[in-house]
Amino acid sequence: DAAGSSRPSLSPAFAVGFGARIVALLRRAALVHRRSLPVALLRVVMAGFFASLIGLLYLHTGRHLSQTDVQDVTGCLFMLCTSSLFSSIFPILQMLIAELPLVHREHRAGAYDPATHLLSKMLADAPLEFLPPLLLTTVVFGLVGFRDDEGAGGWRHLGGFAACVEAGTFAGSSM
């Protein structure tokens, strides 16, 4: 690089460190989330509605081992994954489109880089992205009958089942 080069550097020097930038962006994201609390509540209500719909559609199909029931369970798992994935992808896509001018402006001003902005947004959204799929998974798990026996012991596989659905949801939303 020549001393008189007018080409901008690829990595701008920030006045504050990485941690301070993340904290500032997390505070801003928390303020945005407080302002949009009705939207978060609506997402939970919609997850409950779709969980009831899927659960009632496939009511008690997970308790038998016939070929038809295996196909029904496969269809239920597809509906569950599709519903939880799409419910988490669309808000993130809308956010990226709405905040793209802000990210560009802040990056040009040297305030934040896009990676820091994305990381802080993902950290701030994680708790809100966790609750609707968990509600969806729990309701469907109980209604469809994925439990291996009756009573409280039948719920012992819910944790692993919910973890798989949550992992798929978070993987899809981070794409």
Query: Which portions of the chain are predicted below pLDDT 70?
Result: 1-13, 62, 64-65, 92, 147-154, 172-175
The SS3 call for residue 40 is helix
Q: Could you report the per-residue pLDDT of 78-92, keeping only the tens digit for each?
A: 888 888 777 777 776
CB atoms within 10 A of CB 116: 19
Question: Residue 63 gets which letter from DSSP?
Answer: G
CA distance 64 to 101: 53
CA distance 52 to 58: 10
Angle, in degrees to the nearest 10, between helices 37-57 and 67-109: 160
150-161 in b/e form (b: 16+ CB < 10 A) is eeeebbeebeeb
Structure tokens at 112: 């934040």
Task: Look at residue 3 in the predicted model and tell me its pLDDT.
Answer: 52
